[in-house]
Amino acid sequence: MNILIADDTPSIRIFLQKVVRDTGHTVHAVCDGHEALSYMKNHDIDMIFMDIQMPDLNGIETAKIIREQQSEWMPIIFISATENDREFAEALSAGGDGILTKPLKPILVHAQIRAMQRIVDIQRKLHMMNSQLQSLSKTDVLTGIANRSGFYEVSERELKRCRREHKALSILMIDVDFFKQYNDNYGHLEGDHCLVTIAQALKNTLKRPLDYICRFGGEEFVVLLPMTDLEGARQIAQQLRQAVQSLEIPHKASTVSPFVSISIGAASNQDHINTFTINDLLTKADAALYTAKERGRNQIVAISPNKYGQFPTSSVQI
Ligand SMILES: Nc1nc2c(ncn2[C@@H]2O[C@H](COP(=O)(O)OP(=O)(O)OP(=O)(O)O)[C@@H](O)[C@H]2O)c(=O)[nH]1
């Protein structure tokens, strides 16, 4: 741990620094509450030993400020020259986690560090598990790529970024052709395996770091293409369609290809960067996908808005 000592008495600072250093932790020392606060602004501190009685800003006031400013809990152990119950109670209410009285005994300082280390370790584990849970909640269990919830979070952020930089953002909606027939012919387990293979192929085809793919649901995938206009989106859609075709997964029930194929609808907010929402783009891409299905599947349809922001009924087939 990084341990900070705040005490206005030089002999206590020197003594305590040595005692703490003996435990193998890193130690820093400051002379008063103000110094402690400014030191903590620029350094990550895991635990603090703080004198209650310090001139100007005393330990209790400093602890109150630390608790107000920091959302993260960090152990604060007070050091007191007197055995004053009222002061002890006040110090603990202000946010303290323990009190040592002078003269300080190394055995108690060490025990206090060990006790706080246990709680700090638990806190770190909880943080780690929390961030794992966060990332799991945004991951599709079957394919391992992002799920719809992850998509919404990232897409809103990227839309804002594109608007700031006056760049277009495009969305591809992808659907596996005749997937019901695939399941019916090869079984649900094979269907699952097929979705995993397609997800990986789609993901590996996207090269730019900002490009983002999610499983939107069932056999439907959505690709977010920040900083990309409709022509760029069309090119990437073509690569994705080709990547799935190249997998050559047999699909004898498909009437459009001997192998599993995908249809893609593309939409972009180009020329309407500040008005189109993500949901607008999803609706447009979905309409384009529907047209691609109607026109025979295994193809891409990209719809571009006219100057009034309306989407012409006759879309462009690529
Ligand atoms: N194996 C498997 N199948 C799924 C999963 N999610 C959805 N499906 C199946 O995907 C099929 C989708 O069927 P439809 O929506 O009729 O689409 P389709 O058969 O691909 O027809 P078109 O899209 O018109 O080409 C359904 O049979 C779903 O049960 C999944 O996680 N695993």
pLDDT in tens, 181-194: 999 999 999 999 99
256, pLDDT greater than 60: yes
Nearest CA residue ID for atom 4, ligand 1: 218
Q: What is the pLDDT of residue 313?
A: 44
Q: Is the pTM of this model over 0.80?
A: no
**Segment 215-230 mean pLDDT:** 97
pLDDT in tens, 7-50: 999 999 999 999 999 999 999 999 999 999 999 999 999 999 99
ipTM comes to 0.94
Ligand 1 binding residues, C-beta < 6 A: 142, 175-181, 183, 188, 191-192, 195, 218-219, 293, 297
CATH topology of domain 148-317: Alpha-Beta Plaits (3.30.70)
The residue whose C-alpha atom lies closest to atom 29 belonging to ligand 1 is: 180
Residue 82's pLDDT is what? 85
Q: Which residue intervals of the chain bear CATH 3.30.70.270?
A: 148-317
What pLDDT, on the 0 to 100 scale, is given for residue 316? 45
Catalytic residues: 219
Q: Residue 50 corresponds to which tokens in the numbers above?
A: 């703080």
Which residue puts its alpha carbon closest to atom 11 of ligand 1?
180
Which of the listed residues 175, 219, 291 should we mutate to test ligand 1's pocket, taking the one with most ligand atoms within 8 A of CB? 219
> What is the layout of strands, in order, in the sheet containing 26-30?
26-30, 2-6, 47-51, 76-80, 98-101
Cβ count near 55 (within 10 Å): 9
pLDDT at site 45: 95
CATH no., domain 2-135: 3.40.50.2300
Q: Give the whole-number percent of the chain exceeding pLDDT 90.
A: 89
Collect contacts of 30-35 with beta carbons under 8 A, ≥24 apart: 30/4, 30/5, 30/6, 31/6, 31/7, 32/6, 32/8, 32/56, 32/57, 33/6, 33/57, 33/58, 33/59, 33/61, 33/62, 33/65, 35/6
* Whether pLDDT at 318 is above 90: no
For residue 106, the CA-to-ligand 1 centroid distance in Å is 68
Give residue for tokens 């952020």.
157
**H or E segment and range at residue 202:** helix 188-205
Nearest to 49 by CA among 74, 86, 22: 74
Residue 198 has pLDDT above 50, yes or no: yes
pLDDT of 132 over the 80 cut: yes
Question: CATH 3.40.50.2300 occupies which residues in the chain?
Answer: 2-135
Find the mean pLDDT for residues 52-64. 94
Query: How far is Cα 132 from Cα 123, in angstroms, rounded to an integer?
Result: 14
pLDDT band at residue 314 using 50, 70 and 90 as cut-offs: very low
- CA 215 to centroid of ligand 1, rounded, Å: 13
| Tens digits of residue pLDDT in 261-306 | 999 999 999 888 888 999 999 999 999 999 999 999 999 999 766 5
Model pLDDT, residue 315: 45
- Residue 306 has a pLDDT of 58
